[in-house]
Chains A and B, each alone.
Chain A
Amino acid sequence: MQKIFYLSLLAAIIMAATACNKTDITFGDTYIDNGATQIIRTDTFGVNLSTVYTDSFITSSKGVTLVGGYTDPYFGKIQAQTFLEVAAPAYTDIYQYTSFDSISLILKLKKGTNYYGDSTQSLHIDVNQLTENILPWDNGNYLYNVDKFNYNSTPLGSTDVIVRPNFTDTIAIRLNDALGMQLFGMLQRGSDTIKTASVFLNYFKGLRLGGGINNKMILGLADSLTMRINYKKAGVITNNMQIDFKLANTSHHFTNVTADRTGTPIAALGSALHEINSTLTGNAAYTQTSTGITAKITFPSIRDILKIPNYAKLLQAVLIVRPQTSTFGPIYYLPQQMRLSTTNILNLLGPDVFVLLPNGTTSTQYGNLVTDYIYGQSTTYTYDVSTYIKSILADPTINVSNNGVLFAPPYGAYETQFSRVVLANKNNGTNSISLQITFVAIQ
């Protein structure tokens, strides 16, 4: 009997020693509403929209030759022209027994989203010779969207072309034969003008590519354009030969953009008025950065969240940007990527609103555009602005009326793409921007 007692004693001790295991359980479903907290989502915090005008921005060295124009019901009559320099080819004495045939400008289409507007209409392109050299303002390094240089109003050549963006890849424009013969004569003679780049640049100051006033689209071309002379070389068999004058200095390759905003909601915007509230512009804000127009989003009442009784913590803030219905479509398509850049009263682009990834790095958000062409209402750009909103809530010195975010495409597209967005404010019945705040309240 004693033995049994000790045996049970031993058993108890073994049991004790093997105790303590734990299983993790995850309820995928919500049956538990235990806890002292409530999670509440609200989108009642006001979002203020305004439109900001940028005087100028750099358009040189962007690798895109923009040409054309169109009339936008919200942004006005927009014209784009490109200025560039070509260089003479390296000289070799190969022009014996040759005769000039023709000169033309070969343009290559920019791959990707390379047009804006109605591509079913023909595009008129004029090629003009510059009458003054391309020189950046104040001997600087950059050329801006507002810069332009004089050119001979009689074009060297023109074309009307129906561009099929997915099929067309080259446009050739026949240029004035007189210019061609002059240049070819220099090659044949081995002229100093051809041999020395600076002399050539003074002789042939550059080209301007522009469109007629009746264009319906702006086309994006590559910067690898070529002025090509075709000539014949006599021999046993006559050979067709060619020599290329190529775009040389990309830093002197830039686009000039003008917009006539007469009759549009943002007509008042310009050098005299840099920011205008959406309530004065048809209850909408506008973004087309390539014409200097950017929508600004501020959250003037966001600090009111701190006054909510039992408010404990902001969990998530999501900004849902909804383009106004019927302002976009297959012709006036929306930009694929838009970012939010923090800004202040000066309306300059600051650091982008980022999202923290699980691996600890940060990533700029581009909005994940969802397009609903049928009803338009489900078209949204979505941003997690939790980090930004928290930073505002944490620092009471930030002026929430002036500090906000600019709604702009990423650099590159910023200067060269004409796709634009019209954002409705809350007074605009159609489809307004909203800030969804999810917070924890103590019950």
Chain B
Amino acid sequence: MKKNILSYIVLLCCISHYATAQQNNSPYSIIGIGDIEKSYFDRTTGMGYTGIALSSYRYMYTANPAANAALEYHYFNMEVSARFKSVNYAGKPVSSASQTNSSDLQFRKLLLAVKPKSYWATTLGLLPFSTAKYSMYGLKSVQGTPLSTPVYYQGDGGLNNFFLTNSFRIDSNFSVGVQASYLFGHMNETESVLGNVGDSSLTSTRYITISNPYFKFGAQYKTNRKKKWNYAAGITGSYQTKLSADYSLLVTDGNTTLQNDNIYRKSYFTLPVMYGAGVAATLNNKLTFAADYNYEGWSSLNYKGISYGLVNSSKYSLGFEYSKKINFRDVSGNTVASIEKSYFQAGLFYKTSYLRINGYQIDEVGGTIGAGLQVSALFAVNAALEVGRRGTTDNGLIRENFTQLTVSFSYRDLWRSKKLIRYD
């Protein structure tokens, strides 16, 4: 086991070394707060991100703050995830015929949960909330004319979600939870107005620091596990939240600094009302079918640009899971305990994103497959492969065909093990 822990640490180091910065060019992330992350990098990743109604004694579900109330008492859990993503770009704006794909690997999640009381679990975590990364040539319109001038845009950054979730089991069927987050991050937006031949570029870099507390609420209901069919339902919601945004600006012309303003503007970026609902049905404690709906009400916030606007976003997802369990029976053949050894998943999702560009709402559709394995009583590995596409090649837009592989490692052990001894 010690060897395993050692390997685990080595792996972490490797991943974090390679995954310091996002490489994938995501042209759409120039707008708003970037691409809003749809994944929680948990077990739902293989099920088309379906999991508002799901919970587990062994795995942490993050979609619903109430889910972790189902974790096993006395244990503390830890999970880290990394994602490899490869994107292929298509559409008129993609200029290079030879280089149309990009890929990167990122360390995306760290989660710790403990369940100190049988009715209370608390989870501390760090997840990406949104990411922005783009570099592209574009045209900037010359005001009052039909003309434009060439510019180069570069940007990176994003919002991180550092949160503490408290989940409470009200009774054996019903649990509630609240996720108290601190959203923080920065966006680095650089625009270079390209000069004429032999002329320097005018580069303006806007550095936006965003931070604010943010709350998300959730509740889950599930039927008694002993029946043939078990049902579960969950809801989540968060209210409209203003994120404070501080802008600083650096303008340079070639090597000459023209303007350097620290915090020249204080403003807000508002997150809209978001809610989600999910249902799940489990047959014989083995087969799970789940469906989710998520909604984000961006339209009412009136974020608009020349040819884009933020609009209401919805996500529909369906997931299926087969769980292979080892049942422990007593002498008379009755199952007294059942331990999951592995599972296999598949899922589908369709999302209309919060971006409407050139009259087209950028959408995303994809399918996932996943598998998980309990390596030992303490370690588990799960992996999910996703294939999907985002956007369109119509209206001068870009279609991204992406493939991503998410790998999570989870570890758990007894909490305050002086008092308790694990037998495995």
B373 close to chain A: CB less than 8 A: yes
Decide: A27 near B191, CB < 8 A? Known: A315-B149, A315-B196, A356-B196: no
Q: Which residues 186-214 in B have Cβ within 8 Å of A in the complex?
A: 189, 191, 193, 195-199, 202, 204, 206
B147 close to chain A: CB less than 8 A: yes
Query: B93–A26 contact, CB under 8 A?
Result: yes
Query: A31–B99 contact, CB under 8 A?
Result: no
Query: B99–A313 contact, CB under 8 A?
Result: no
Among residues of A, the one whose C-beta sits closest to the C-beta of B86 is A21
Query: B142–A438 contact, CB under 8 A?
Result: yes
Partner of A356, one of B104, B197, B258, B383: B197
* Cα-based distance from A315 to B198 in the complex (angstroms): 12
Decide: A39 near B305, CB < 8 A? Known: A18-B103, A22-B135, A356-B198: no
* Cα-based distance from A27 to B144 in the complex (angstroms): 21
Query: A9–B7 contact, CB under 8 A?
Result: yes
Query: Quick one: CB contact mask for B90-109 with A, threshold 8 Å, 1 for yes?
Result: 00111110011111110000
Decide: A24 near B140, CB < 8 A? Known: A19-B23, A313-B202: no
Among residues of B, the one whose C-beta sits closest to the C-beta of A36 is B204
Q: Which residues 1-48 in A have Cβ within 8 Å of B in the complex?
A: 1-2, 4-6, 8-9, 11-13, 15-41
Q: Which residues 386-423 in B have Cβ within 8 Å of A in the complex?
A: 396, 398, 405, 407
Taking CB atoms, residues of chain B closer than 8 Å to A23 are: 25, 87, 89, 94, 96, 99-102
- If over half of A's interface residues share one DSSP class (helix, strand or loop), that class is named, otherwise mixed; here it is mixed
Query: B138–A17 contact, CB under 8 A?
Result: no
Q: Which residues 170-193 in B have Cβ within 8 Å of A in the complex?
A: 189, 191, 193
Decide: A5 near B375, CB < 8 A? Known: A22-B25, A39-B193: yes
Partner of A34, one of B30, B202, B405: B30
Partner of A37, one of B138, B191, B195, B375: B191
Decide: A31 near B379, CB < 8 A? Known: A19-B103, A316-B196: no
Taking CB atoms, residues of chain A closer than 8 Å to B25 are: 22-25
How large, as a class, is the contact surface on chain B? Answer: 35 or more
Among residues of A, the one whose C-beta sits closest to the C-beta of B23 is A20
Instruction: Work out how many contacts link A and B, with CB atoms closer than 8 A.
Output: 211
A272 close to chain B: CB less than 8 A: no
Among residues of A, the one whose C-beta sits closest to the C-beta of B107 is A16
27 A-B residue pairs with Cβ-Cβ distance under 8 Å, sorted by A, are: A8-B383, A8-B407, A12-B11, A12-B14, A12-B407, A16-B105, A19-B18, A19-B19, A19-B103, A20-B104, A23-B100, A23-B102, A24-B136, A25-B94, A26-B137, A27-B138, A34-B189, A35-B189, A37-B204, A40-B143, A41-B147, A315-B196, A315-B202, A316-B149, A360-B198, A440-B202, A442-B259
Query: Quick one: CB contact mask for B360-383 with A, threshold 8 Å, 1 for yes?
Result: 000000000000010110010101
Query: A21–B23 contact, CB under 8 A?
Result: yes
Query: Quick one: CB contact mask for B118-161 with A, threshold 8 Å, 1 for yes?
Result: 00000000000000001111111111110111010101000000
Taking CB atoms, residues of chain B closer than 8 Å to A360 are: 198
B307 close to chain A: CB less than 8 A: yes
Q: Which residues 27-67 in B have Cβ within 8 Å of A in the complex?
A: 27, 30-31
* Cα-based distance from A228 to B259 in the complex (angstroms): 77
Among residues of B, the one whose C-beta sits closest to the C-beta of A22 is B102
* Cα-based distance from A20 to B18 in the complex (angstroms): 9
* Cα-based distance from A19 to B17 in the complex (angstroms): 12
- Most A CB contacts (10 A, CB to CB) among B82, B99, B199 go to B199
Among residues of A, the one whose C-beta sits closest to the C-beta of B4 is A5
* Cα-based distance from A313 to B258 in the complex (angstroms): 9
